[in-house]
């Protein structure tokens, strides 16, 4: 499983309309994307900062969306956003909601500790 996290800042008083457009326009488009699993929206209490977290079956699904669907979604939402959103991508290491286990993280993570004597200490 893979995730895209989009950090953005909403314009003043844009949150109510942003939420409506997200629910009625953006999420239905996401559901049409191959490999899309879920969308979470985190909003800072009393502030303009938002994190939109999308979950995808595979890295390739998220990358395909980044190239094709995301630019369209950004055009729909740009009237509510200050500045340029920042996007981060991660492999999902564990999720109670999506029934992944730590074994998924361990078998797919490129993060390893060097074996002593082989490029290590």
CATH level 3 topology of 2-106? Alpha-Beta Plaits (3.30.70)
Q: What is the structure's pLDDT at 26?
A: 95
Structure confidence at residue 41 (pLDDT): 92
Banded pLDDT at 17 (limits 50, 70, 90) = very high
Predicted local distance difference test score (pLDDT) of residue 47 = 79
Residue 96, sorted as left (phi over 0), alpha (psi -120 to 50) or beta, turns out to be alpha
Domain ranges for the chain: 2-106
- Chain centre to alpha carbon of residue 29: 15
DSSP 8-state assignment for residue 76? H
| pLDDT at residue 121 tops 60 | no
Question: Per-residue pLDDT for 120 more than 60?
Answer: no
Taking 70 as the threshold, does the pLDDT of residue 111 lie above it? no
Query: What pLDDT sits at residue 45?
Result: 83
């Amino acid at each position: 499983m893979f995730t895209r996290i989009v950090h953005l800042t909403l314009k003043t008083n844009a949150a109510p309309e942003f939420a409506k457009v997200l629910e009625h326009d953006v999420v239905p488009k996401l559901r049409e994307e191959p490999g899309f699993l879920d969308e979470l929206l985190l909003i800072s209490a009393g502030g303009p900062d938002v994190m939109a977290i999308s979950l995808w079956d595979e890295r390739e699904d998220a990358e395909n969306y980044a190239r094709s669907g995301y630019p369209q979604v950004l055009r729909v939402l740009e009237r509510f956003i200050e500045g340029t959103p920042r996007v981060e991508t991660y492999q999902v290491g564990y999720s109670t909601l999506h029934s992944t286990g730590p074994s998924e993280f361990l078998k797919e993570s490129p993060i390893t500790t060097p074996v002593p004597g082989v490029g290590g200490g």
